[in-house]
Each structure stands twice: as C-alpha cells, then as structure tokens.
C-alpha cells in the first residue's frame, strides 16, 4: 500500500495543476491580509459600529487571530473547488488519459490501487489545509501580532483570551479537515462515474452549492433534511470559538459551549467520508474499464 | 513435443446491456505462438483482450492462463503478461524514463537505471529518455508503451491494435519487434488487428472474429487451403463481363468486388470453362489470376454478398 501511495503522490505532485491550488490559496490570503493591513481599521470600525457606540474597546482587535477567523470564513467556501480539481480527477482523469487501463493490467490489486488514490487525495487535502493554516494563522500572527480574539456573533460578542485561542484554532482546523475530506470523498466518488474530470468537478460543486442553499434556507420542508446534509455540518468548526461561562458570566478558559454539536457534526461528516470512499472502492473493484 | 497451452478460453461471453460484444468464444494459445485476432472494428477483439487482462469482467465463461484460473490467480498471471491496449497512453507530464520507472515498479520489478536505459535503448528512445511524453510522436509513444509492456520480461505479450496511427516505418518496426520477440526471445504473443496483411505476415495462428463470434481459427496455411480458388478477372470490358456473369451460371461464384476488380471463386477445374464462356461471348480476357491472400478469405467469410456486381467509383 505504501508503495502505491508513494506512486500516487508522485503523480499528484508532478502535475502543475496541483500547485495552482497552493498558489491560489497564497494569492487569496495575501490579498485579504494586504487589504486588512491597509484598510483594516476602517473595516473593523464598520463591523463594530453598533458595539463601539456603547462600549469602549481596549486592545488590538485587528490581530493575527482575528484575521485568521476572517480568512477561514471566506476560504472554506472556496477551497472545495480546489480540492475537487484533484480529487475528482483521480479516477476520471486517468480514464481520460487512457492510463487507467495500463495501470490495471499491472499485477496489483484493484483495492490497493484505488485505496492509494483516495489516500493520496486525502493527503493533498490535508496539505492544502496545512498551507491555509500556515498562511492564514502563522503569517497573520507574524504580520498583525496577537491579542484577544474579538468576534461579533449575530446576537452577542465573544472575546476569547489570547492564551485560550491557539488550541481552539487547532481544533477548528482539525474539524475543517474533516469537512474538506467530505468534499474530497464526494469528488472521489463522483470521479468513478466519469471519463473526464470536468463532469465530477462540476457535479461536486453543484452538490455543495445546492446543499448549502438548502442548509441555509429556513423553510419547514427543508428543515427535515437539513440535519442529514453534510453541508449543514461543515461550518461547525465555529463552535470551537464559543465557550461556557460561569455563574458570574465569565468565560471558562478551555471550555466549549456545545461540544456535543461538534461530536455530532464530526460523526455525520465521518459517515459521509466512509460512505463515499467505501462505495467508490467497492465499485472500482468490479468496474469494467472501457476507456 | 506437446506445446503447453498458455491461454485457454472456454465459452467466454460478454454482454453490455442488450449488446453481446463477445459470444461463446473458445480458443487456446500455445507457448511460442504469435496468435492473431483478426476482425473488423467492433468485432469483439478488444473486449476479448480486455477480459484476458481483467479490465472487463466476463458475463460467462472461463479463462485460464499459464494453467491458472484468471479469477483466482489474477496477480500471479498479470506478472507474466505485458500489454499495450489500443493507444499507448502514458502520463504525458512525465518523461519516458519516469513513466518506465513508475510502471516497472507496478510490474513488480526493481527499476535499476541500467534496466530502464536498456529498455529505452531497445525501443530507440534512449536519447529522449528525459523528455516529457507530451513532446513525443504517436510512434514514439507506441514504442514507449512496448518498453513498458516488456520491462518485467513477461512470457506473454498482448498487443491490441499496435500499429494504429503509425506510419509505414513504424508499422514495419512493430512487425519486426513482434518477430524478434517470438523467434529470438521465444515469447508468446497475442496481437489483434483489423489490418489483414499485418496479421498475415506475423501470426502463426489466426482467429477471425465477426460480431462477437469466432468464425474460424487456424494457421494462415490452413485458412488458405480451401477447396475453391479465388481468382481476379480482368477483361477488355469489365462492365460487359459483369453483366454476362450475373446472367450466367457463374453468377453464384461472383464475390464482392475489391478495388474495382472482378473477383470470382470456383473450382480449379472450372477455370478453363469460365475462360471459354467469356471468349465465346466476345469478352477478351486479359487476366484470370488466382489470389492467395488472407484478405480474400477474410472478406469471403465476413462480408455479405451485398457488394457483388457493383463497381467502386
């Protein structure tokens, strides 16, 4: 398996397309950081206009932690496309190139080949997220410094102590990884059915867009299916930034307000990952290669 | 000495929905054979080859290679097979050397630099080893495909339409390579083609397909050895000759026209009678020549009679 995985990773990282995603992430984050560096104060005063009229805010709101939160909110909507570019190409791209038939005439088990392909796209996804973490969190911390994390929620404000933030980001990125791996496994699953990568890429994005719309629309008929849509659970990483308070309404350091929400969402995403990837692997074992 | 059956196929069928791509196919290939699959496009050659390589699952039937059941010994069997299926598609963004190294690993071979360069040398690509495949011509890709097929020194080599898209020199090179593999290296080769002269020149045994079914199997010699002779007829007025033949007792002997020429099949003893009849009807015979080509035989058993008596424009 390790030998197969090395071959698949070698193929992924020999293709220029792979680096496009990393370049796109770098450019997107760079643009956000530059914008906030130049005009960040105006942005924060606009966002907090209602709040600052009643309260005096001390400290550096526009810090690295805050920038990373903004970046995560913006990027996790677009990263699925970059993931689909590679994951949706894993089987269909080889079918299109004609290399799939050559690959499967070699004395290797189909299960090992397809599992290695899936694991390679998992590694690619994780590397992309690590790159987002490096650029979005560490570079932002370097440029903007650190302080307490000040977040405006819909009906309340959250201030996370500087010393209590970093582990929350670690948890948020781990959860985001699970959310993005759901996209990876969906794209990989769809890749099984096509002989060029455009179809599965478009199909993956279409499913995510439709499910996201269904997840956000507050219509009773859709509310029934919402809990089962993986897109409803992809944004649960934000739960890491809500904490419990004590009787004096003070934040309990190291706590999460609704940990059960995170566990439930993570479980549903995990079921989707296993379902999509497992089905693709099972189907691939009996697939007739006609390309 | 009894030659060992390398490939043994029994009652193999493959259906895609309502379409029967391969219908109750049985054949065997002996060690050292150059076994030709011959048939028109869509006859079932590629589907049969893909079933031999486990790319397609048969609907029914049994395949045995090297004495093992393909279903239960897939990995062991594929270790002894090298194949080029239709187009020699490889990773275009990798170099010839990188492609060969990658597939050598997948074939279970330790890809030493010497081994890889020797293979590239053999197919004439050593000087392009480090160039990406996207800069290669079709012929070069085909040669790289063959190097990949041979890198693990397989006993059985399967080449599906290996000369597709090649220029005459490329076709000749592939033909020579097959003969070297068979005669010098004692490999068993299965080669499919819709080009009759290609198969005729290299195959020791031939299987002719049509519409998914085996029509006939044998050596080229056996296939030629028919009771009747196929003749090419040329006269001073072929239109008049055709009209006469269609209305005469020879009408049933007429074959589909090939390259605008009248073709007639009859017993050798009838040749003087035909000549006499034509002359008696004021048709001067310029040529009445036996044809000994697999093409005639192939067209005879696969083509309908719909072309009889029509000239090519």
Q: Do B106 and A7 touch (CB under 8 A)?
A: yes
Task: State the burial class of residue A289 (Cβ atoms within 10 Å of its Cβ: 0-12, 13-18, 19+).
Answer: buried
pLDDT of B258 reads: 66
Q: Return d(Cα B112, Cα B104) in angstroms, integer.
A: 9
Q: How confident is the model at residue B300 (pLDDT cuts 50, 70, 90)?
A: low
pLDDT at B311: 35
Inform me whether the C-beta atom of residue A106 falls under 8 Å from chain B C-beta atoms: yes
Chain B residues touching A109 at Cβ < 8 A: 75
Label residues B209-248 b or e (16+ Cβ within 10 Å = b): bbebbbebbeebeebeeeeebbbbbebeebeebbebbeee
What fold is seen in the domain B5-222? Rossmann fold (3.40.50)
Residues of A in contact with B92 (CB under 8 A): 97
Contact A14 B103 (CB under 8 A): no
Nearest to A289 among B55, B83, B87 (CB): B55
The verdict on a CB contact (< 8 Å) between A97 and B54 is: no
| Dihedral sign, Cα of residue A81, residue A84, residue A86, residue A88 | negative
Q: What percent of chain A has pLDDT over 90?
A: 59
**What is the distance in angstroms between the Cα of A106 and the nearest Cα belonging to chain B?**
5
The alpha carbon of residue B242 is apart from the nearest alpha carbon of chain A, in Å, by: 45
Average pLDDT over residues A46-52: 71
Phi-psi region of B150 (alpha: psi -120 to 50; beta: other; left: phi over 0): alpha
Whether the CB-CB separation of B133 and B95 falls below 8 Å is answered with yes
- The mean predicted confidence, pLDDT, of chain B is 85
- Name chain B contacts of A3, Cβ cutoff 8 Å: 105
The pLDDT tens digits for A278-291 are: 999 999 998 888 87
Q: Do B105 and A288 touch (CB under 8 A)?
A: no
pLDDT above 90 for A139: yes
- Helices first, then strands: H and E counts in chain A: 13, 2
State whether A7 and B93 contact (CB < 8 Å): no
> How confident is the model over B12-60, as pLDDT tens digits?
999 998 899 999 999 999 998 999 998 888 888 999 999 999 999 999 9
A-B contacts at Cβ under 8 angstroms: 72
Angle (deg, nearest 10), helices B96-106 and A2-12: 160
Mean pLDDT lowest for which of A141-155, B215-229, B235-249?
B215-229
pLDDT class of B302 with cuts at 50, 70, 90: low
Task: Indicate the domain borders of chain A.
Answer: 2-285
Q: Above 60 in pLDDT, residue B199?
A: yes
Strands (E), chain A: 149-152, 157-160
CA distance A74 to chain B (A): 33
pLDDT of residue A12: 92
Cβ of A102 and B89 within 8 Å?
A: yes
Convert the pLDDT of each residue in B130-178 to its tens digit: 999 999 988 889 889 999 999 999 999 999 888 877 888 888 888 888 8
SS3 assignment, position B153: coil
Phi, psi of B266 (to 5 degrees): -160, 170
- pLDDT at position B198: 79
pLDDT exceeds 90 at position B298: no
Residue A98 sits at the chain B interface (C-beta within 8 Å): yes
pLDDT band at B295 (very low <50, low <70, confident <90, very high): low
Contact B78 A105 (CB under 8 A): yes
Asked if the model's pLDDT at residue B220 lies above 80, the reply is no
Q: What are the domain boundaries of chain B?
A: 5-222, 229-302
Select the residue from B15, B48, B105, B156 to test the A interface by mutation, using most A Cβ atoms within 10 A: B105
- B87 pLDDT higher than 70: yes
Chain B residues lying within 8 Å of A17, measured CB to CB: none
Residue B309 has pLDDT above 60, yes or no: no
- Mean pLDDT, residues A27-51: 84
What's the confidence (pLDDT) of residue B306? 36
CA distance A190 to chain B (A): 20
Contact map slice: A 261-290 vs B, CB within 8 A:
286, 288-290
Q: Which residues contact B59 (CB under 8 A, 6 or more apart)?
A: B13, B14, B15
Q: Give the tens place of pLDDT for each residue, A256-275.
A: 889 999 999 999 999 999 99
- Nearest chain A residue to B80 by CA distance is A107
For B237, phi then psi, to 5°, come to: -145, 90
Mean pLDDT in residue range A100-115: 93
Does the beta-carbon distance from A7 to B102 stay under 8 Å? yes
Quote the minimal CA–CA distance from B300 to chain A in Å. 31
Q: Are A121 and A18 in contact (CB under 8 A)?
A: no
Distance from CA of B93 to the nearest CA of A (A): 7
- Please check whether residue A111 touches B, CB under 8 A: no
Q: What whole-number distance in Å separates Cα of residue B210 and Cα of residue B43? A: 5
Statement: residue A198 has pLDDT above 70: yes
pLDDT at position A186 is: 96
Dihedral pair phi/psi, residue B34, rounded to 5°: -105, 105
Confidence band (pLDDT; 50, 70, 90) for A233?
very high
* ipTM of this complex: 0.83
When CB atoms are compared, the residue of B75, B76, B86 closest to A109 is B75
| pLDDT value, residue A73 | 87
Whether residue B216 has pLDDT greater than 50 = yes
């Amino acid at each position: 398996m390790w030998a197969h995985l090395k071959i698949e990773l070698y193929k992924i990282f020999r293709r220029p397309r792979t680096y496009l995603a990393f370049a796109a992430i770098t450019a997107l984050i760079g643009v956000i950081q530059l914008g906030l560096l130049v005009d960040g104060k105006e942005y924060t005063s606009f966002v907090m206009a209602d709040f600052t009229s009643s309260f005096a805010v001390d400290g550096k709101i526009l810090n690295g932690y805050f920038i990373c939160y903004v970046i995560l909110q913006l990027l996790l909507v677009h990263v699925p496309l970059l993931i689909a570019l590679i994951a949706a190409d894993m089987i269909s791209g080889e079918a299109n190139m004609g290399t799939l038939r050559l690959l499967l005439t070699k004395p290797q088990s189909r299960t090992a080949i397809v599992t290695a392909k899936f694991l390679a796209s998992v590694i690619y996804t994780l590397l992309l997220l690590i790159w987002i973490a490096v650029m979005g969190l560490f570079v932002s911390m370097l440029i903007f410094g650190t302080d307490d994390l000040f977040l405006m929620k819909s009906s309340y404000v959250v201030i996370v102590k500087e010393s209590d933030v970093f582990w929350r980001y670690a948890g948020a990125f781990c959860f985001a990884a699970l959310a993005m791996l759901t996209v990876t496994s969906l794209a990989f699953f769809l890749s099984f059915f096509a002989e060029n990568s455009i179809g599965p890429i478009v199909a993956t994005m279409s499913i995510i867009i439709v499910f996201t719309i269904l997840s956000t629309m507050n219509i009773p008929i859709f509310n029934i299916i919402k809990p089962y849509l993986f897109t409803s659970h992809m944004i649960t990483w934000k739960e890491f930034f809500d904490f419990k308070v004590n009787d004096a309404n003070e934040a309990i350091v190291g706590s999460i307000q609704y940990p059960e929400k995170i566990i439930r969402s993570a479980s549903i995403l995990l079921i989707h990952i296993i379902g999509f990837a497992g089905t693709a692997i099972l189907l691939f074992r009996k697939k007739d290669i006609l390309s | 000495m009894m030659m060992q059956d390398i490939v043994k196929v029994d009652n193999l069928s493959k259906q895609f929905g309502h379409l029967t791509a391969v219908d109750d196919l049985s054949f065997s290939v002996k060690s050292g054979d150059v076994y030709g699959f011959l048939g028109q496009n869509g006859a079932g050659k590629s589907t049969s080859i893909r079933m031999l390589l486990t790319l397609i699952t048969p609907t029914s039937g049994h395949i045995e290679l090297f004495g093992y059941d393909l279903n239960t010994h897939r990995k062991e069997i594929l270790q002894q097979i090298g194949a080029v299926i239709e187009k020699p598609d490889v990773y275009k963004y990798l170099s010839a050397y990188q492609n060969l190294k990658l597939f050598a690993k997948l074939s279970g071979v330790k890809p030493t630099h010497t081994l890889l360069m020797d293979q590239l040398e053999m197919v004439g690509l050593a000087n392009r080893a480090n160039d990406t495949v996207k800069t290669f011509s079709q012929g070069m890709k085909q040669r790289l495909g063959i190097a990949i097929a041979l890198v693990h020194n397989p006993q059985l080599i399967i080449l599906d339409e290996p000369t597709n898209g090649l220029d005459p020199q490329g076709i000749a090179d592939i033909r020579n390579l097959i003969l070297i593999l068979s005669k010098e290296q004692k490999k068993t080769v299965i080669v499919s083609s819709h080009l009759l002269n290609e198969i005729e020149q290299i195959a020791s045994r031939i299987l002719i397909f049509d519409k998914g079914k085996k029509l006939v199997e044998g050596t080229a010699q056996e296939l030629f050895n028919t009771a009747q002779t196929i003749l090419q007829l040329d006269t001073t007025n072929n239109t008049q000759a055709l009209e006469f033949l269609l209305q005469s007792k020879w009408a049933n002997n007429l074959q589909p026209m090939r390259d605008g020429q009248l073709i007639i099949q009859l017993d050798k003893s009838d040749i003087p009678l035909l000549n006499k009849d034509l002359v008696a009807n004021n048709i001067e015979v310029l040529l009445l020549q036996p044809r000994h080509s697999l093409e005639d035989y192939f067209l005879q058993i696969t083509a309908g009679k719909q072309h009889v008596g029509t000239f090519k424009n």
